[in-house]
């Protein structure tokens, strides 16, 4: 009858164990606009439900250069930050089981001995068997702790997604920078050849008494300037190669490439999508929300500590008061029991722990809302950046083409004796600067597409 009463009590307690104290999670409200600012940067979204957006485009479809695709794949496999993040995800996943384990009884093998002294007859007691303990999660403390651990796991996944996204963007940007430096180097070398030809022409004209020593010095200064530009570009190019190799998990060295900057065409033809889509796409927002979920769950953990904890215990094995007989495994013994602990006085520790958990939850709410605000600003800046970078590149291309013609005409006029070498000198300087600025403008346009793609939450999906 005693055992029946005990199991009846356990059943009643278990039936009441479905209540978990603490607030239930709900996503905080934030005034999200219906459209992005500067929607003209990309085609408008069609009226159909759930339209495809730029963020839906896979990175291997956006970056269709085979060499670049190979570098990105290698980076996603070998990059140390990616590998570190993957191990942290595995660790967070394991901690879910650690937090969830107390929901189930714990069983431990035990061997103990006790010698009582000072009595008329010394008594030795020996026990060997198992002990079972089970904390009943009536108030949901263990479930809330498990919820927090699961949110921490999801936040580590969001961190991993963010690293993947940044890595894809960084590899693409570094690759395009290399191509831009290749173009700068080609322009500088071409200018050097032209300037050396001009210097030889001026020297010949000076020998014939047509040009002056000043013009020859000016021609030689142009040669030296082009040589210095080549040296500087070569330095930056080698350093860029080293950086890209670091991203893909390799040692410093050259990067295999055959494409030219002019071959890279990243012209998004799909809309940016609704601002609300950012909530489920951007890793930083995902991270902030999962941290909020964990903070919300910890409020429940802190609240559950105000209530009594109930633990059921049981043991079974062999008990004897003689070691030699105990080894023979005689004398079965068993026991069941339970305990209830109700906090009565702790100098305000539990109350202030609860207040702290609520304050941390409020901070997590504000952090989430700030992340959404920053994401909207990031997308808006990226949209206008893409639009204006494209316009700037067009203007720079026109200016470079104009100066190419101007230099050709200035050289012809000088050879024909119509103008001085000063006109050629000035035009040559402007032409080189214009060519370099055009290459940099093309790179800036490609980078603006990468920034827009990343800001919309694309780039990390394999």
For 60-115, what is each residue's pLDDT tens digit?
888 889 999 999 999 999 999 999 999 999 999 999 999 999 889 998 888 887 77
The DSSP secondary structure of 139-158, one letter per residue, reads S-HHHHHHHHHHHHHHHHHH
Phi-psi region of 348 (alpha: psi -120 to 50; beta: other; left: phi over 0): left
pLDDT at position 441 is 95
Q: Is 367 helix (H, G, I), strand (E, B) or coil?
A: helix
Phi-psi region of 161 (alpha: psi -120 to 50; beta: other; left: phi over 0): alpha
**Rounded Cα distance, 412 and 410, in Å:** 5
290 with 152: CB under 8 angstroms? Answer: yes
**Rounded Cα distance, 109 and 381, in Å:** 63
CA torsion through residues 411, 417, 423, 425, sign? positive
313 with 337: CB under 8 angstroms? Answer: yes
Q: Which of 224, 205, 225 is nearest to 215 (CA)?
A: 205
pLDDT at position 327 is 46
pLDDT at position 249 is 92
Q: What angle do CA 249, 253, 257 make, to 5 degrees?
A: 90
The CATH topology of domain 52-455 is: Outer membrane efflux proteins (OEP) (1.20.1600)
**Rounded Cα distance, 38 and 56, in Å:** 20
pLDDT at position 291 is 96
Under-50 pLDDT residues of the chain: 1-3, 15-16, 47-50, 323-329
Note the pTM of the prediction, 2 decimals.
0.84
**Rounded Cα distance, 146 and 298, in Å:** 10
**Rounded Cα distance, 428 and 235, in Å:** 23
**Rounded Cα distance, 355 and 349, in Å:** 10
106 bridge partner residues: 133
456 with 379: CB under 8 angstroms? Answer: yes
CA atoms within 13 A on the CB side of 391: 8
The percent of residues in the chain predicted with pLDDT above 90, rounded, is: 50
Express each pLDDT in 256-308 by its tens digit: 998 999 888 886 777 777 888 888 889 999 999 999 999 999 999 999 999 99
């Amino acid at each position: 009858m005693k055992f029946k009463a005990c199991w009846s009590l356990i059943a009643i307690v278990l039936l009441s164990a479905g209540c978990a104290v603490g607030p239930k999670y709900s996503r905080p409200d934030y005034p999200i606009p219906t459209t992005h600012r500067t929607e003209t940067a990309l085609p408008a979204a069609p009226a159909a439900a759930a339209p495809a957006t730029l963020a839906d485009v896979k990175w291997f479809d956006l970056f269709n250069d085979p060499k670049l695709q190979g570098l990105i794949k290698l980076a996603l496999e070998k990059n140390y930050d990616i590998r570190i993040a993957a191990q942290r995800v595995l660790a967070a996943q394991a901690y879910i089981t650690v937090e969830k384990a107390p929901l189930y009884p714990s069983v431990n093998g035990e061997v103990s001995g006790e010698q009582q002294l000072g009595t008329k007859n010394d008594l030795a007691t020996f026990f060997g068997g198992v002990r079972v303990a089970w904390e009943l999660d009536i108030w949901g403390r263990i479930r809330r702790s498990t919820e927090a651990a699961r949110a921490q796991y999801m936040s580590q996944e969001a961190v991993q997604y963010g690293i993947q996204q940044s890595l894809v963007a960084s590899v693409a940007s570094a690759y395009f920078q290399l191509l831009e430096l290749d173009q700068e180097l080609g322009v500088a070398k071409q200018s050097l050849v032209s300037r050396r030809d001009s210097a030889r022409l001026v020297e010949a004209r000076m020998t014939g008494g047509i040009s002056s020593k000043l013009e020859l010095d000016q021609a030689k200064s142009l040669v030296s300037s082009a040589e210095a530009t080549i040296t500087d570009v070569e330095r930056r190019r080698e350093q860029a190669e080293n950086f890209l190799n670091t991203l893909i998990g390799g040692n410093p060295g050259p990067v295999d490439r055959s494409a030219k900057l002019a071959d890279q065409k990243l012209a998004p033809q799909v809309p940016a999508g609704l601002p609300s889509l950012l909530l489920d796409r951007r890793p930083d927002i995902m991270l902030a929300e999962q941290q909020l979920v964990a903070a919300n769950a910890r409020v429940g953990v802190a609240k559950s500590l105000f209530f009594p904890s109930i633990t059921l215990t049981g043991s079974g094995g062999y008990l004897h008061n003689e070691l030699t007989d105990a080894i023979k495994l005689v004398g079965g013994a068993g026991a069941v029991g339970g305990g209830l602990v109700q906090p009565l006085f702790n100098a305000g520790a539990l109350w202030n722990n609860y207040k702290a958990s609520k304050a941390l939850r409020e901070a997590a709410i504000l952090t989430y809302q700030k992340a959404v605000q920053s994401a909207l600003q990031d997308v808006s800046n990226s949209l206008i950046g893409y639009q204006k970078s494209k316009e700037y590149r067009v203007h720079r291309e026109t200016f470079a083409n104009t100066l190419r013609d101007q230099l050709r005409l200035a050289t012809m006029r000088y050879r024909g004796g119509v103008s001085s070498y000063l006109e050629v000198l000035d035009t040559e300087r402007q032409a080189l600067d214009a060519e370099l600025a055009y290459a940099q403008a093309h790179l800036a346009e490609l980078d603006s597409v990468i920034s827009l793609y990343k800001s919309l939450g694309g780039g990390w999906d394999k």
